[in-house]
Structure 1
Amino acid sequence: MPSAEAPAAAAMDGEQRLHPWSWLFVLLQQLRQFVLPLVALLVFGGGGGREAQWQALAAAIAMVVLVAVSLLQFFTYRYRVGADGVTIRSGWLQRNLREIPFNRIHNVTLHQSLLHRVFGVAEVRLESAGGNKPEAQMRVLGLAAAQALEDVIRHGGSDRAGRTPDAAEPADVPLLALDTADVLRLGFISNRGMIVVAVAFSALWQIFPERVASRWVEQHAQQLLGYATSMHLGVLSTVAAVGSLITFGLLLTRVLSMLLALTQFHGFRLHEQPQRLTVERGLLARLRTSVSRRRIQSWTLQEGWLQRCLRRRNLRIDTAVAETGNRSDARALKELAPIATPDACDALIQHLLPHAQWPMPAWSPLSASMRWRLLLPTVLVLLVLSVPAWLQAGPWGLCIWLWLPWAIYGAWQQTRRAGYAVDTALVAVRGGWWARYWRFAEIDKLQALRLSHSPLDRRCGTASLWLDTAGASNMQPPLRIRFMPEVQAQALYRQLSAALAARRLRW
Structure 2
Amino acid sequence: MRYHPLTCVFRIYQLIRNSLFVGIFLFIIKRNSDFWLFEYGRFVFVGAILLRLIYIIVSWFVETYEWKERAFHIKKGIFVKHSSTIPFSRIQNVTRHTTLFHKIFGLTSITFETAMDGEDDAITFHVVSKQYAAFLLDLVKVEESQVPEVEEKKETEPQVEEVKESVNRVITNRNIHFEPSKRDLFKASFTSLSFLAIIPIVTALYDLFGPLIPDSEQYEGVFYQIMNNRWVIFLLSIIAVVIAVIIGILRTFSRYGRYRISSNDTHIYIDRGLLAETHFAIEKQKIQGLEIEQTLMKRIFGLAEVKLISSASPQSEEHTVSINSLYPFLPLKRAYQLIEELLPDYHVSESMNRLTKVSMYIKLIKPSWIWIIATLGLIYFKPAIFQIDAAWWLLSLTLLVIVIVNRMLDYLHTKYLISDDQLQWWHGGLTSRMFITKRKRVVEMSYSQSMLQKFFDLVSISTMNRSTPTRIETIDDVPLDFAKTFQDWYLHRQKDTTYQQNG
* TM, length-normalised to structure 1: 0.76
Tell me, yes or no, if structure 1 residue 290 matches structure 2 residue 318.
Answer: no
Q: Distance in 2 between matches of 1:456 and 1:333?
A: 41
2:113 to 113, 127, 139: 127
Write the mapping of 1:164-203 to structure 2, written as runs, cut at 5 A.
169=169, 171-194=173-196, 197-198=199-200, 201=203
Contact preservation (8 Å) 1:191, 1:254: no
Q: Distance in 2 between matches of 1:129 and 1:108?
A: 12
Deviation at 1:421, TM superposition (A): 0.5
Partner of residue 139, structure 2? 152
Partner of residue 336, structure 1? 326
Q: Which deviations, in whole Å up to 9, do the C-alpha atoms of 1:238-281 show, x marking residues without a partner?
A: xxx99x96x98777655433322211111011221341122221
Partner of residue 372, structure 1? 361
Partner of residue 499, structure 1? 492
Q: Distance in 1 between matches of 2:435 and 2:242?
A: 32
Write the mapping of 1:351-366 to structure 2, written as runs, cut at 5 A.
351-359=341-349, 362-366=351-355
Q: 1:199 to 1:112 in 2, by over 3 A?
A: same
Q: Which deviations, in whole Å up to 9, do the C-alpha atoms of 1:47-86 show, x marking residues without a partner?
A: 69xx999887765544433222111122222222335122
2:123 to 112, 136, 141: 136
Deviation at 1:480, TM superposition (A): 2.4
Tell me, yes or no, if structure 1 residue 26 matches structure 2 residue 11.
Answer: yes
Q: Which deviations, in whole Å up to 9, do the C-alpha atoms of 1:225-248 show, x marking residues without a partner?
A: x96997599xxx9xxx99x96x98
* TM, length-normalised to structure 2: 0.76
Q: 1:286 to 1:405 in 2, by over 3 A?
A: closer
Q: 1:157 to 1:54 in 2, by over 3 A?
A: farther
Q: Which amino acid letter does the alignment assign opposite residue 184 of structure 2?
A: D
Q: 1:58 to 1:418 in 2, by over 3 A?
A: closer
Contact preservation (8 Å) 1:73, 1:90: yes
Q: Distance in 1 between matches of 2:124 and 2:115?
A: 15
Contact preservation (8 Å) 2:94, 2:282: yes
Contact preservation (8 Å) 1:323, 1:329: no
Partner of residue 442, structure 1? 438
Deviation at 1:491, TM superposition (A): 1.2
2:22 to 32, 37, 40: 37
Q: Distance in 1 between matches of 2:52 and 2:400?
A: 59
Aligned-partner SS, 1:337: coil
Q: 1:282 to 1:410 in 2, by over 3 A?
A: closer
Q: Which amino acid letter does the alignment assign opposite residue 372 of structure 1?
A: Y
Contact preservation (8 Å) 1:123, 1:141: yes
Task: Extract unaligned runs of 5+ from structure 2.
Answer: 154-161, 383-388
Tell me, yes or no, if structure 1 residue 425 matches structure 2 residue 385.
Answer: no
2:477 to 483, 495, 507: 483
Q: Distance in 2 between matches of 1:80 and 1:399?
A: 60
Q: Distance in 1 between matches of 2:395 and 2:74?
A: 65
Deviation at 1:283, TM superposition (A): 0.7
Q: Distance in 2 between matches of 1:157 and 1:183?
A: 43
Aligned-partner SS, 1:321: coil
Q: Distance in 1 between matches of 2:102 and 2:140?
A: 22
Q: Distance in 1 between matches of 2:358 and 2:425?
A: 18
Aligned-partner SS, 1:162: helix
Tell me, yes or no, if structure 1 residue 280 matches structure 2 residue 282.
Answer: no
Tell me, yes or no, if structure 1 residue 96 matches structure 2 residue 82.
Answer: yes
Contact preservation (8 Å) 1:427, 1:440: yes
Q: Which deviations, in whole Å up to 9, do the C-alpha atoms of 1:445-495 show, x marking residues without a partner?
A: 1122232445654566532212221226577xx73222223x235414522
Contact preservation (8 Å) 1:378, 1:407: no
Q: Distance in 2 between matches of 1:341 and 1:332?
A: 18
Q: 1:202 to 1:471 in 2, by over 3 A?
A: farther
Q: Which amino acid letter does the alignment assign opposite residue 24 of structure 1?
A: V
Q: Distance in 2 between matches of 1:353 and 1:146?
A: 26
Q: 1:195 to 1:452 in 2, by over 3 A?
A: farther
Partner of residue 385, structure 2? none
Deviation at 1:422, TM superposition (A): 0.3
Q: Which amino acid letter does the alignment assign opposite residue 363 of structure 2?
A: L
Q: 1:130 to 1:499 in 2, by over 3 A?
A: farther
Q: 1:493 to 1:249 in 2, by over 3 A?
A: farther
Contact preservation (8 Å) 2:314, 2:324: no
Deviation at 1:400, TM superposition (A): 6.2
Q: Which amino acid letter does the alignment assign opposite residue 336 of structure 1?
A: L
Q: 1:299 to 1:93 in 2, by over 3 A?
A: same
Q: Distance in 2 between matches of 1:128 and 1:403?
A: 42
Q: 1:353 to 1:141 in 2, by over 3 A?
A: closer
1:299 to 290, 304, 308: 290
Q: 1:439 to 1:73 in 2, by over 3 A?
A: same
Task: Extract unaligned runs of 5+ from structure 1.
Answer: 1-15
Q: 1:419 to 1:228 in 2, by over 3 A?
A: farther
Q: Count residues with an aligned counterpart.
A: 469
Q: 1:219 to 1:467 in 2, by over 3 A?
A: farther
Q: 1:264 to 1:132 in 2, by over 3 A?
A: farther
Partner of residue 310, structure 2? 319
Aligned-partner SS, 2:149: coil
